[in-house]
Chains A and B, each alone.
Chain A
Amino acid sequence: GAGVSQSPRYKVAKRGQDVALRCDPISGHVSLFWYQQALGQGPEFLTYFQNEAQLDKSGLPSDRFFAERPEGSVSTLKIQRTQQEDSAVYLCASSLYQREQETQYFGPGTRLLVL
């Protein structure tokens, strides 16, 4: 079946531009996660959705970052007024539920480069 998809795969933005990154989770998955992965680092948690409810946004680095999942399926991560330090790979993951042992299925990521 279809896995998690993300678009665009690559995005180049000029400093100060707004960007929107899309995630299509696996159909029926309740949980959706966004991570930021800097070069040479492990992923860092940004935010978590259970259906359409954003239950944890403690990892969002600033108020320039905003995420939504209005209908409980597709999610968008928006970064306003991008800065060079926002350059990273943004990974989306989904899981069927939110149990401790639940496997997260990751998308291929969006590589963002801010010039």
Chain B
Amino acid sequence: AQKITQTQPGMFVQEKEAVTLDCTYDTSDQSYGLFWYKQPSSGEMIFLIYQGSYDEQNATEGRYSLNFQKARKSANLVISASQLGDSAMYFCAMKTGGFKTIFGAGTRLFVKA
């Protein structure tokens, strides 16, 4: 069965510090894509970063990077230099050969001033 697991319901980080949000996934497919989305209190899902299963390098997008460890089936999101505006829910998601995208339960990040 395909599954995304986010084990951290909530995380706190000091402003300007880095934080890692954990994500593990389960799939028997060889080809898949992993995504991270941010959902502020307004409710809209905002795409952050993508990693393909065949990508050899970890994806980076500005302050976001994805620590992809294929053998461990983990795809952790690293946010560097946290800002107050980073406070939100963060969802890890996976897409395989079909049409579905599967989301984890999310991690709520609180950035402290």
A56 touches which of B37, B52, B99 (Cβ 8 Å): B99
Q: Does A17 contact B (CB under 8 A)?
A: no
Count A interface residues, CB 8 Å: 26
Q: Which of B4, B99, B104, B106 contacts A98 (CB 8 A)?
A: B99
Number of B residues whose C-beta is below 8 Å from A? Answer: 28
The contact of B96 among A42, A100, A105, A106, by CB within 8 Å, is A100
- Confirm or deny: B56 has a beta carbon within 8 angstroms of a beta carbon on chain A: no
Say yes or no for A72: interface residue by CB 8 A criterion.
Answer: no
**B6 to chain A: closest residue by CB:** A42
* B residues less than 8 Å from A56 (CB atoms): 98-100
Query: What CA separation (Å) do A91 and B39 show in the bound complex?
Result: 12
- Chain B 15-52 interface 0/1 with A at a Cβ cutoff of 8 Å (1 = within): 00000000000000001110101000011111100101
Question: Which residues of chain A come closer than 8 Å to B78, judged between CB atoms?
Answer: none
Are A89 and B103 touching (Cβ within 8 A)? no
Residues on B with beta carbons closer than 8 Å to the beta carbon of A55 = 99
Q: Which of A73-115 contact B (CB under 8 A)?
A: 89, 91, 93, 98, 100-101, 103-109, 111
Q: Is B101 an interface residue (CB 8 A)?
A: yes
For B99, the chain A residues whose CB sits under 8 A away are 33, 45, 48, 55-56, 98
User: In the assembly, what is the distance between CA of A104 and CA of B103, in Å?
Assistant: 13
User: 9 tightest A-B contacts by CB?
Assistant: A42-B103, A106-B45, A48-B99, A56-B99, A45-B100, A100-B33, A108-B44, A109-B43, A103-B47
Q: Could you list some 30 contacts between A and B, CB below 8 A? A: A33-B101, A40-B105, A42-B103, A42-B104, A42-B106, A45-B100, A45-B101, A45-B102, A48-B100, A56-B99, A100-B32, A100-B33, A100-B52, A100-B95, A100-B96, A101-B33, A101-B52, A103-B35, A103-B47, A104-B45, A104-B47, A104-B101, A106-B37, A106-B44, A106-B45, A106-B46, A108-B44, A109-B43, A109-B44, A111-B43
